[in-house]
Structure formats: C-alpha cells, structure tokens
Structure 1
Amino acid sequence: MLFRLLDNWRAPAPDAGKIAWIKEWEFAHRGLHAPGVPENSSGAFADAIRRGMGIECDIQRSRDGRAMVFHDWGLDRLTDLSGPVAKLDAAQLEEVRLSGSNDAIQSLPRFLDQVGGQVPVLIELKSAYDRRINSLCMEVHRALEGYQGKYGVMSFDPRVSRWFSAHAPRTVRGLVLKDRDFRGPLGPAKRRLAMWHARPDFLACDVRDLPSAFIAAQRGRGVPVASWTVKTAELHTVALENVDALISEGEGLV
C-alpha cells in the first residue's frame, strides 16, 4: 500500500483516454523486417502498415542534430560503412543504404510522412547517460509538431520521459525497463526511482522479465505496459497474459 501511494504521488497514472490506443495495437519491432527487408527500413514500415500493425522504431542523433531512424550507435551491423552514426550529418546518412536492400536511412520527418497516421508509432530515443538529451528531445518534438497520427516516445533513459513531461506534456511518453539494469539489493529501489523521475504515461518491459509483481502493480493502478521483444509463440502467450500491448517480430507476431 505504501509503494502504491508513493507511486501515485511521484509518477501519477495517466488519463485513461490519453493512452487507451496503446492497448488496441500490436507493434512491429523496428517495422516488419525479414530477410531482404532490413529493420527500421521504409520497406519494413510499409509491410507493417499493410498488415495493419503499429510500428516501433528507433532514433539516433546525426552530427548536425537531426533525428534519424536507426537503432545502433554504429553503422557497422546494418550498412556497408563503419563508425558512429553521430559522425555523419543527416544528408550523408540519408545516402547510406541499409544492407541487403535499396532502402536508405530515413530522417524522422520522412518516416512520419511515410506512415501518415495510418497506424500508431512508438518512437524509442536512444540515449546514453554521458550525453545530453535536450537537443535530441527537442528535435523529435519539432518533428512531431502537427503530426496527426497516434504516437508515443520512449527511452531507457528516464530523463527523456521527464523532458517530455516538462516541455511537451501532451505527448504520450514511456519508460523502457529491463531487470538486468536493476540487479543487486538496491535494484528494486533504483527501478522505482527511475520511474518516479521519468513520470511516464506507460512502461515498456522486457518480455523475459514476465511475470513481474512490479509490472502487475503498475498495471493495477492504471499505467499501461507494453512488452518487447516478443520473438516466439511462447513469449507471445506470456506477454498476452501479463501486459497490455506487444512489440513483436519474427515468430512472435500474431
């Protein structure tokens, strides 16, 4: 009871109408990618839209401060180039082809133009604790201004959700969690402090951490929870029993 009271004070549950849409969709993790259709590519997003799925994508910052749709800190795994994403300007990154396709890295505005409100999107901002987050949050906020579709932003970094709480409170914002980040005797306390600092509208947890008493308690007080990454039919069943929305890929897709 004490923790519930503290949670309600430090990280109040959102208005149900603001976040109801999250519970109505399954989200394709980095788009509906497959061999020949890379993750976070325009082809993967187009396939998700055709299938009637929401989209989860990732955002990295270019050297000139633009929000780019890309997961890794480095270019090595997903392109024929190497080195940090942040060493190239947006115009240069938009010329970089994703391996195994003709699709290039997209900017966030171009991605939003492609989706055009047809399906909801969850936008994960990649952040590191030794980096400032204000400029990336501001760039994402600017890209989303005037966008008519359903969207939410989220991050492992509680500062991101806190920034949107302070500067764009109408934006649906989430905190991404995994138990591996909160190991040790002080882990549960650190997890709660992260949530209190973030003041999120929703949580996104690692499906491998389910079932979870913490997650059940947050859902019980009206905070919706999504789960990532649902990759198998077994994990799909676990997620359905314990959370409100699934972020899925591969065999975990319905």
Structure 2
Amino acid sequence: MTSVPLPPAFLALPVAHRALHDRAAGVIENSPTAIRKAIAAGYAIEIDIQLSADGEAMVFHDEELDRLTGEKGWVKDRSAAELGQILLKDSSDPILTLTQVLKIVAGQVPLLIEIKDQTLTMSETDGRLEAACARALKGYRGDVALMSFNPHSVAHMARLCPDLPRGLTTSAYDPGEWAPLDPETCDRLREIPDYAPTFSSFISHEASDLARPRVAELKAGGAAILCWTIRSAAGEARARAVADNVTFESYPAALPAPG
C-alpha cells in the first residue's frame, strides 16, 4: 500500500469550507445550494459526512441536528430517508446523502470529503461510515480526496479506497477546546504521528498553528499542506507562507488567473 498524491486541482483552486455557504442569505453549510454556488464560482469544495441509522453517508457536519435544523437529537439515530425529509434552518434545502451530492458535483470541481469521527474519542471506529463512503464513491469520476481527524478512519480508507488520495485533518489540539477528548490523546495527535502509517499524502492543518515544526517537517518530506479555516484575504496571505492551499469561508478567495 502506498500514498496517493493530491491531484493538482486541489492545490490550484481554493477550497470552499462546507461549500460556498452564507447563512445570512439562506445558503446553509453543506447544502445543495451551497454546493451548486461553489461549482458555479469554480471553487473546490469541502464537505463533511456523518452516518445515518441505516448506514448511509449523510452530508452534514454536526453529530446532532439542533444547530442546523429545527429537529433535535443525533444524526445517527435517524434513517437516511428521515434525514432527507429534514430541512436545513432558514432554507428550503434538505439534508443530502453523499450519493446525492456526488451526482450534483459530477466531477465539475474537486471534492474534499471529511469523514467525521464517529467515536467522539478519536479511537478505533466500527468502519461503517468509511464503508458507506467507499460504496458511494464506487465508479465516481472526478477529483476527490478523503480526510479525517480520526487516523483510524483514514486507515480504513487506505484499505477501502487505495487509489484515492487520503490525508489527516490536524490541529493544535488545545485540550480546553477539544474536551471531552482527553489531554493525553490531544498530546499524541498534536504531533501528527499517524501520517506515514495511514499512507497519507496531505494534511489539512489548523491555520493558527501552521508554524508548528512538525508541519514544516511533513512539508519538507513531500506532504501537501492544506489549512482550515481562512476567513479573510489577509488571513489567506499569512497562511500561504506555509500552506499550499486554503480552505475558506466568509470572503471570496481569489481564483488562479485563467491559462
């Protein structure tokens, strides 16, 4: 098993965080409208997936429904059909499956899929969400890459989708911000020890922590460095001193000049 490099488009096109959303305008994160707007603008897209009760990969960031919908409770307790009937707050968009999103994107722009940690402790997963992701991606034609904060998920994807690029979403792991994740796990993950064992080819690192020596070490060794989440042109300029590309929201990141 070997790592798979990111396609060049992932380093050329800024990545719209949870697609090109604008809640004030009724365009909600990870929604079909936000995805279509990102495609129309020519950006790469980052989305998140969670698992439904019946084993479908759903495009939704949070473990719980409360923040983004009028419903309460865990995403994992609802079937894909039930989740598909729930509208995102302040919009007429429903929650989509990954399969539905892939049909919308259809290879038009690069798609970066973050597999959300199902354990809430960054521990070994049961592999159900990873398997659902792999099923949805079977036969997909277009630039796609996979990542997760949980290295166990990335290891699953190395086995399930060995031909697709994989990476780790990484952070400074301040224990105060990551509770209830225990401090010992934060200390371990902070130094990104799982990059080589998961056959990763990139990281997407917390922008405020890009000066970490381990990031420089990985870059020197050939890792592509993405970062999250940039919210201004000035922040982008600072991040690009280290990062090869940015994941952005709240401002129009500059696209490369044609040709």
- The TM-score normalised by the length of structure 2 is 0.86
- The unaligned stretches of length 5 or more in structure 2 are 176-182, 255-259
Deviation at 1:195, TM superposition (A): 2.4
Q: Aligned to 1:245, what secondary structure does the other structure show?
A: coil
In the alignment, what sits opposite 1:46? Answer: 36
Is 2:53 the partner of 1:63? yes
Most deviating of 84-93 and 237-246: 237-246
Out of 98, 114, 117, the position equivalent to 2:104 is 114
Aligned to 1:8: none
Query: Deviations 1:28-86 (Å, cap 9, x if unpaired)?
Result: 00011012100010000011011000000000000001000000010000000011111
1:159 corresponds to which of 146, 152, 158: 152
Q: Is the 8 A contact 1:230 1:236 kept in 2?
A: yes
CA contact (8 A) 1:231 1:252 kept: no
| Code of the aligned partner of 2:205 | C
Describe the superposition over 1:119-153 as per-residue Cα deviations: whole angstroms up to 9, x where unpaired.
00000011123572411111100100110010011
Structure 2 CA distance for aligned equivalents of residues 43 and 112 of structure 1:
14
Give 2:187's aligned residue.
Answer: 187
Residue 188 (structure 1) shift? 6.4
Question: Structure 1 residue 181: deviation in Å?
Answer: 5.3
How far apart, CA to CA, are the structure 2 residues paired with 1:212 and 1:21?
26
Q: Which amino acid aligns with 1:200?
A: S
Secondary structure in structure 2 of the residue aligned to 1:227 = strand
Hey, what's the Cα distance between the residues in 1 that align with 2:212 and 2:253? 22
CA distance, structure 1, for counterparts of residue 164 and residue 126 of structure 2? 16
The 1-side partners of 2:78 and 2:113 are apart by: 21
Q: Which residue of 2 aligns with 1:32?
A: 20
Q: For 1:178, give the aligned amino acid.
A: S
CA shift in 2, pair 1:123/1:101, >3 Å: same
Identity %: 33
State the alpha-carbon separation in 1 of the partners of residues 187 and 124 from structure 2: 23
1:77 maps to a residue whose letter is R
Choose from 88, 91, 108 the match for 1:98. Answer: 88
- Aligned length, in residue pairs: 241
Residue 173 of structure 2 aligns to a residue whose secondary structure is helix
Equivalent in the alignment of 1:21: 9
Give ranges in structure 1 of 5+ residues lacking alignment.
1-10
* d(CA) in 1 for partners of 2:189, 2:21: 37
Note if contact 2:232-2:251 (Cα within 8 Å) is conserved in structure 1. Answer: yes
Cα distance in 2 for residues equivalent to 1:192 and 1:248: 22
Q: TM-score, normalised by structure 1?
A: 0.88
Q: Which residue of 2 aligns with 1:82?
A: 72
Q: In the alignment, residue 11 of structure 2 is paired with which amino acid?
A: K
Question: CA separation in 1, counterparts of 2:104 and 2:30?
Answer: 12
- Contact 2:30–2:61 (Cα < 8 Å) also in 1: yes
**Letter of the 1:30 counterpart:** R
Residue matched to 2:244:
244
Higher helix share: 1
Separation (CA, whole Å) in 2 of partners of 1:104 and 1:147: 23
Once residues 101 and 14 of structure 2 are traced to their aligned partners in structure 1, the CA distance between those partners, rounded to angstroms, is 19
CA 1:26–1:86: 2 relative to 1, 3 Å: same
Sort the Cα spacing of 1:15 and 1:62 in 2 relative to 1 into closer, same or farther, 3 A: closer
Q: Deviations over 1:80-138 (max 9, x none)?
A: 00111111000000000000110000000000000110000000011123572411111
* Residues 68 and 89, structure 2, Cα contact 8 Å, conserved in 1: yes
Provide the residue aligned with 2:179 in structure 1: none
